[in-house]
A and B are shown apart, each in its own frame.
Chain A
Amino acid sequence: MTGRFRIGGARLMHIYTWVLIAWLVLPISVMILFGFNDPSGRYNQTWQGFTLKWYRDVFALEALTDALVMSLIIAVLTALIAGALGTGIGYALGRWQFRGAAGLNLLMFAAISSPELVMGSSLLSMFVSLGISPGPVTITIAHVMFSVSFVAIVVRARVVTLDRSLEEAAADLGASGWTTFWKVIFPILLPAIFSGVMLAFALSIDDFVITNFTGGTTETFPMWIWGATRVGLPPQVNVMGTMIFVAGVLIAVISNVRSRPKKRVAA
């Protein structure tokens, strides 16, 4: 009796899990589908017929393309800067116990859990007070600020699992601290650093709220979409959204598959 109850419950939960996944995927499917739509008017809201012309003309709208390029540039810069700074924090926190570590942890926790609205508006307050005009630079500063903690946490998680005997072995073989770090430790940490960098890139390219506050009139991809919502979105937006989605999923799947066998060896 008990056994049957458990199996029934599990099966129900299994079905329910798939229903929820379907719900999560529904708006994504709509986005992808309407990139193939052939709307007659300005509003791409009802299905009119299949076409591939938006894929052919994906970069035809100059302002939209510029916004996408702006997003990519900011995301790359954010990933590089936050990647470097976050790796420093993550390595130090994972490797040593030092005074101020608790305070730094709290600061990172606050930066992760604070509402974006408040972080964005407080940065704007500061820029206004200092007379700094908002633009791509202030956006990048803001993006590094909110993504650096994520990189640090990802890297720290890997550092704490490092086997200290590796360092001792390197030292026994006559390697200096510096050589040991670059030749032994860094290669081991590289996959974690890479995930941190990718996470920072993803957080940056998707960000709307903080960019809205710190960007002034600079148009990133999400900002352009936000501005165009009222007048109707061109199907190119769907195509670009689909391309970002596919690229993101591919990168995630490939990096996951590649890191899998390594994990098994380490275990």
Chain B
Amino acid sequence: MDRVKRTLAPYLLVLPGGLWLVVFFAVPMATMVSLSLQEGDVVNGFVFTGHWQNYVESLADYQTQLIRSLVYGAVTSFVLIVLAFPVAYWIAFYGGRRKATYLFLILLPFFVSFVLRTISWRMLLTDDGVLLHPLKEAGILPGDFQVLGSATAVIAGLVYSFLPFMVLPIYVALERIDPRVVEAARDLYASPVSSFTKVIFPLALPGVFAGVLMTFVPASSDYVNSELLGSSETTMIGQVIQSKFLSNSDYPSASALSFTLMAVLLVGIFVYARALGTEDVMKVAAR
């Protein structure tokens, strides 16, 4: 009896949470795929057709926005690697006893609602806003300077939104490096540059990849930044999906677009999980 209880224990503990994930994460994905293969409208109901028509049509209509989103996501991740690496490096190797404090400061934006942070940026970047107006008065920027509504503003917003997600995984990877390995490189007459490029950077790569995964996925599917900081020239696929779902109730074609986005990102996610394992992302998530 006791033994039966023992073998059942993990299943009983896992059951409620696992079921919740299956019913409200996995099943909805399947529902969405099925919806994407249906036809009809809200008034007359939807009929399953099994045709790929929704995919073909919505991709033809919105490929610009889809590609733009993937490009914005990629640029965001790249900029983030460049911005975040030195910070993660400094905290990991020179942070000393204040490492936790520095990481906490990097995480400060998360204590403010995502929408509110982005609205703050819009205030800062408005033509006569708190930031641009003084700079124009001082003659640092030309009077007709404008950034709001441009791709630069949207990407800058995305970079801001997801910076901590790049710093943390790189930091975790760098922190793991045994200082003796770096010392050994120096003992073997490696220059600072080559001990960085040949020893430290390769060891930090899993962290960089985890950071790319954790920033590229939310950045390329975001619609808050492009809605608040962009213009019709910067419309991203998230905005298309959001308005199709919530304003136009065009569920089949919205589902098709949403699943296309998911499929593109899933390929990336699973290649990642296969090649590098899920540990790094999970570890950062635990922080």
Contact = CB atoms under 8 A, between A and B. Distances in A.
Interface stretch (B18-26, B52-60, B197-205): B18-26
Contacts of B108: 21, 24-25, 28, 249
A129 B246 CA distance: 15
A50 interface: no
Given A112-B285, A208-B224, A249-B108, A92 B90 contact: no
Interface residues of B, number: 91
Given A92-B10, A109-B281, A45 B129 contact: yes
Contacts of A125: 28, 31-32, 35, 251, 255
Interface in B252-282: 254-255, 258-259, 261-262, 265, 269, 273, 278, 281-282
Interface of B: 7, 9-11, 13-18, 20-22, 24-29, 31-32, 34-35, 83, 86-87, 89-91, 93-94, 100, 102, 104-106, 108-117, 119-121, 123-124, 126, 128-130, 133, 160, 163, 191-192, 213-214, 217-218, 220-224, 228, 238, 241-242, 245-246, 251, 254-255, 258-259, 261-262, 265, 269, 273, 278, 281-283, 285-286
Given A122-B32, A128-B251, A222-B116, A112 B282 contact: yes
Given A26-B124, A111-B21, A118 B221 contact: yes
A117 interface: yes
Interface string A40-55: 0000011100000000
18 contacts: A14-B90, A14-B94, A89-B17, A92-B10, A93-B10, A107-B22, A111-B25, A113-B217, A119-B28, A122-B29, A129-B34, A148-B21, A154-B286, A209-B223, A222-B116, A241-B112, A244-B113, A253-B104
B25 A17 contact: no
A125 B278 CA distance: 28
A222 B113 CA distance: 7
B10 A98 contact: yes
